[in-house]
Structure 1
Amino acid sequence: MTAEPHPARASESTSQYRPDIDGLRAIAVLSVLFYHVGFSTFAGGFVGVDVFFVISGFLITRLIYNEFEATGEFRFSRFYMRRARRLFPAMFATLFVTSIAAVIWFSPTDLERFGGALIHAVASLSNIFFWNESGYFDVDAQIKPLLHTWSLSVEEQYYIFWPAILVLLLKKTGTRWTFAVLIALGLLSFLLNLDVASQDSRVLNQALPFTTGWFSEERASIFFLTPFRVFEFVIGGVLVWGVRKRPGSALFHAAATLIGL
C-alpha cells in the first residue's frame, strides 16, 4: 500500500523545479554585478532587478495558484514560514557583518544614518527609507552599505499583499476574472509610472489630491516604491496562465527565447 500525499504538499508536487528560471536569474545577477563594477557595456544592467521582480511574480503566483487549484485553499502560515527560512538567515548574517564594519569605520553621522537603514531593513521598509533620502544614483551611495536591501523590502511587501489579493480573487471571482483583474492592476501600475515620470503627475493629483507633492522626486519614486513595481510582478503572474496556453511549436519557443533575451 502507498500512502496518499498530504494536501499540504500539493503545491510542492505541482510546482516543478525550473532550471531555465535559474539560468535567467544568473543573467540578471551578472547584469547587476557588471553594472555596479562599471562596465560600459552593462550601463543598463540594473534592469536585472526588474527581471527578478518578474521572476518572483511568476514563481509566487504559480505556487499560490497551483496549491489553490489542488486543494481549494492556501496555507498562509506555511507560505510565510518558507519565505522566512529562505530569506532571513542570509539577510540577518549580512546585517550583522555590515553592522560590525559600520561601527569600526563610520563617522557618528554616517553611523546614525546606517542605524536608520538597519531598522528599516529589518522592518522590510528600507525602500521607503532610501526613497526619502533619494540618493541611490549619487556619490552618497558609497556610504550606504545597506542600499541594496531596498529591493528585498519591495519583495517582502509583495509577499505580504500578493497572496491575500490572489487568494481572495480566486475564491470570489474564479480563474478568468482573476486573470483580468491582474491585468488591470498591472496596467494601472504602468500608467502610474508614466504619469509620475511626466513630472507633473497631473492624473494622480486630480484623482487623489492629497498625494500632491509626494512624488516630486520622480526617478527615485519610480525606482524605490512598490506601487511602481507592481506591473513587473503582474507580468510574471500572468505568465502562469501564458505557460499553460503556450503553443507547442519548437520554433515558437526558440523565437520567444531570443526575443526575451
Structure 2
Amino acid sequence: MERRWPDVLWIVRHGQSAGNVASDAAHLAGLSEIAIAERDVDVPLSALGEQQASALGRWFAAMPEHERPTVVLASPYLRARRTAELIREAGGFSADLGIDADERLREKEFGILDRLTRGGVAERFPEQAEFRRLLGKFYHRPPGGESWCDVILRLRSALDTLSLHQREERVLIVCHQVVVLCMRYLLECMTEAEILGIDAAQEVANCSVTSYEFNPRLGPKGKMELTRFNFVAPLEVAGAPVTTRPDEAVAAR
C-alpha cells in the first residue's frame, strides 16, 4: 500500500501576538477599531507569545530525537514565523532543519473589516454585519477578504503538496486559528455545522497543539487520525499563561 501522508502532523497556532493584546484592549474599552500600527503580516509576537513558543519548543525537546519534527512549515506572517523559530531553537531540532514559508497557511484575509471589532463592523459596515448574519462566517466573504471556504480552498492545495512531498515525515505546521480549524475540517471530512460547532465550543489557544498520526487501518489506504486538539499542557507545565484571543479582526473571523 502506497503511503500518501506524513507519519505525524502537528498543527500549532502562533503564540500570543501584539494584535491579540491590542484586540483585548479594544474590546474592553468598547472601541470600534483595534490599534495596530503594522500590516497584519508584520504583527509581532508579544513577550508572552515568545515565552509560549519557547515552552512548546521544550516540550518537543523532551521527545526522543527520532520522534521530533523532520519538516517545519509556517505561515509567512511574522507572528507565525517567529513562533516556529523559537520552537526550533528550544526544541532540539536538527541543526540544518529549515523553516519553509507557505503563503497558503497565512491568516484569513479580512478585507475592509480588518482591524474592526464586532461593534465596529456593525457601526461602519452594517450591510456586511447583516450579510454575515444571513450567510454565516463559513460563507460570508467581506469585500477584499476571504470566507472560510476561501481559506479551505487554498488549504486543499497545501495538503496535496504535503501528501506529495512529505510522505512518512514528521511535519510541524505553525499557522493561525482559522487555519487550524479548517485543517480539521479537511482532514476529518467534516460538515460546516460540525466545524462551526467545534469553533463555538472553544477558542483555539495560542501555541496549542492539534496533532494527527497516520493510521493504516483507517480506510483502504489509511488516514490521518486526530490524537490531540487544542492541547496546552506544554504551556501549563512550563508556567506560561494560556491565551485564547482570536486574531485582531475578531468580528470577521
**Could you tell me the TM-score, scaled by structure 2's length?**
0.28
Q: Write 1 or 2 for the structure with the bigger share of strand.
A: 2
Bigger relative CO (Cα 8 Å, ≥ 6 apart): 2
**Could you tell me the TM-score, scaled by structure 1's length?**
0.28
Q: Write 1 or 2 for the structure with the bigger share of helix.
A: 1
